Amino acid sequence: NEDWNLITRTIMPLINQPEFVPGQDSKFGLGDINLSLFVGPKEPGEVIWGCGPVFMFPTATDDRLGTKKWGAGPAAVVLTMQGPWVFGGLAQNLWSFAGDSDRADVNQMLFQYFINYNLPDGWYLSTSPIITANWKADNDNRWVIPFGGGIGRMNFLGKLPLNTSAHAYYNVERPDDFGPRWTLRVQVQTLLPKSLFQ
């Protein structure tokens, strides 16, 4: 409305999961879809912020790629732009409330800080690691803390803004028993501003 914006953020992860043990097949497919709804002021000033709920849907195409649980929780985002720099962070916590009773309950925090440096012609350098904590796990297997960065570009597909990027991260902290040492993240994000529909 005149005072508030609703910003939606939908993540539909395509995951390639290598074998955990010898003889186990790798899996590729869709993971659990996450939908965040952020409400924030329409005229935010130097600091842009939003908060609202996040939902998790059990859409994984294989047991190893998802939780088989429905989940919900709070989410918040804050950022500021200073010249060519963008600084911010996003935080959420999900609790499962329904789903496969044979699967473990979910109580998971996600925090993603992001630092972008904008270059000419829509290019940018960035770091935006996804830090997670599984509050159901013991201390040695709770955290995944990546370190790294990548490059991206804002472009247009007709009138549709398109953000593409590639990042590589080394997990300086990960569960003892499993978890990748490295993560390669390739993203394609479409942005649907209100002006496209007017």
Residue 195, pLDDT score: 67
At 29-43, the pLDDT tens digits run 999 999 999 999 988
At 82-110, the pLDDT tens digits run 999 999 999 999 999 999 999 999 999 99
| Residue closest to 167 by CA, chosen among 190, 144, 183 | 183
Q: What is the rounded CA–CA span in Å between residue 53 and residue 73?
A: 6
When pLDDT is cut at 50, 70 and 90, the band that residue 182 belongs to is: confident
The CA–CA distances, whole Å, from 96 to 57, 60, 120, 144 equal: 10, 15, 43, 20
Structure token digits, residue 10 = 């939908």
When pLDDT is cut at 50, 70 and 90, the band that residue 78 belongs to is: very high
pLDDT of residue 198 exceeding 70: no
Q: What is the rounded CA–CA span in Å between residue 187 and residue 173?
A: 23
| Residue closest to 77 by CA, chosen among 90, 93, 86 | 90
Long-range contacts formed by 150-156: CB under 8 A, 24+ apart = 150/125, 150/126, 150/185, 151/123, 151/124, 151/125, 151/126, 152/123, 152/124, 152/126, 152/187, 153/121, 153/122, 153/123, 153/124, 154/122, 154/124, 155/122
At 113-160, the pLDDT tens digits run 999 999 999 999 999 999 999 999 888 889 999 999 999 999 888 888
When pLDDT is cut at 50, 70 and 90, the band that residue 18 belongs to is: confident
Q: What is the rounded CA–CA span in Å between residue 21 and residue 64?
A: 13
Please state the pTM of the whole predicted model: 0.82
